Amino acid sequence: MSWIRRTFGLDGVDLLIHSGVTFFLMVLVETASVTQDGTGLALIGATSLVVLGIRRRLALKHLPPETTGEVAAERLAEVDARLQEVDQLHYRMQELEERLDFTERLLAQSRAEQPRIGEPR
């Protein structure tokens, strides 16, 4: 992210457009002005700065927070720990499936070996 965006919350193109609109409004007010005291220019300049301040505050509020390498390393360690936990759970689930299969085979085998009641001899 560029330093302009980190500072102003807006990229260079937005700042250029804002400055251009302010400049053309100042030119328009100056040419249409009957008095030459400069109050129109000052008013346009002050309004432009207030609008820029509001835009900057809103834009900075929506920027993602900057992270340091330390924060990224902590997140990576958390992801690694969770991945190890998932691997352990997967291993335990496989073990339980094997035990269930073994139990089902034992039950099926014991049913096949038991004589049925009422079976003719």
Q: What's the pLDDT tens digit per position in 14-34?
A: 889 999 999 999 888 888 876
- For CA atoms 43, 48, 53, 57, the dihedral sign is positive
pLDDT the model gives residue 118: 66
CA end-to-end distance (rounded Å), the chain: 88
User: Distance (Å, rounded) from C-alpha 84 to C-alpha 90?
Assistant: 10
The pLDDT of residue 1 is above 60: no
pLDDT the model gives residue 119: 61
Q: Tens of pLDDT along 65-100?
A: 766 777 778 889 999 999 999 999 999 999 999 999
Give the up-direction half-sphere exposure of residue 94: CA atoms within 13 A in the CB hemisphere. 6
User: Distance (Å, rounded) from C-alpha 36 to C-alpha 43?
Assistant: 14
What residue ranges do the domains of the chain occupy?
A: 3-62, 68-115
